[in-house]
Amino acid sequence: RVGFVYGLSGLYGAMASATFARQLLSVGASGAVFGLIGSTLCDILLNWDVQSNPCCAFVRLILLTTLELLFGTVPMVDNFAHAFGFAMGFVSSMLFLDRLRKRPQCIATFSRRLFRFIAACAVVIAFAAGVIALYGLGDRGAIEICPQCAMISCSSFPWGCESWDSSTCWWTCDTMQAPLGCSGNATWTVSRVEASVQLSCPSRMGGMVQVVVTPVDVSRWDERHLLKLCKENCPVH
């Protein structure tokens, strides 16, 4: 049963990562590991009356998970896999895990079966929605539909700082969210305020895709400006 929870969590975390961060590569089993953390939380709730000190264990696990997910918002960490793997681990555990102290009453048996049925439906719906989001959006990425979802995996810190001003942020997410390998050249005839930028965007099918963006203000042309243009204009193939 734990193997099923582990596998489903890892698979769902990988699907979430591929859906929300198509331009990035991610490796590791952290999504499945977070699924086991979600499973532990579910087990505490299912067997509350068996635990020696369930309230303390529940609070400790909630604080630990919250800190780990917050630390996951630094750049170059795939927190999509963490968050969605944790959620799948929690939900799927309602389906696979048992109560250690079962009550023989008919209503208790009915409630257990009802919760398992709801959990099974939730798992199926979650994977169906994940497949649709992964393959059914065409060239549109999930981040384009839900821009705020990018904050799940990466947030500028301290929260609320201006990402374009490096003096106010400890770190920003421009590098993480921009397509890897993107480059660009700026040209202008009259003024740098109305320049033309030719971007070379990496394609998932191999090679590069040329994208021309105009007009662009390149009076403060630097790597951060280029990454911002790449993030906003490079197509997702």
CA distance 100 to 98: 6
Tens digits of residue pLDDT in 102-147: 767 777 677 778 888 999 999 999 999 888 888 876 666 676 677 7
CA distance 183 to 220: 16
Alpha carbon separation from 177 to 36, 76, 103, 149, 181 (Å, rounded): 28, 9, 51, 12, 12
Residue-averaged pLDDT of the chain: 81
pLDDT, residue 113, reads 84
The dihedral sign for the CA sequence 103, 104, 110, 115: positive
Tell me the pTM. 0.69
Tell me how far apart the alpha carbons of residues 213 and 149 are, in angstroms, rounded to a whole number.
Answer: 26
At 83 the pLDDT is 93
For residue 149, the 8-state DSSP code is G
What is the distance between the alpha carbons of residues 218 and 161, in angstroms, rounded to a whole number?
Answer: 23
pLDDT tens column, 52-81: 888 999 999 999 999 998 888 887 788 899
Q: Are 179 and 234 in contact (CB under 8 A)?
A: yes
pLDDT at 46 over 60: yes
Residue 178 has pLDDT above 60, yes or no: no
Mean pLDDT, rounded, for 95-105: 77
Confidence (pLDDT) at 234: 78
Mean pLDDT of 26-38: 88
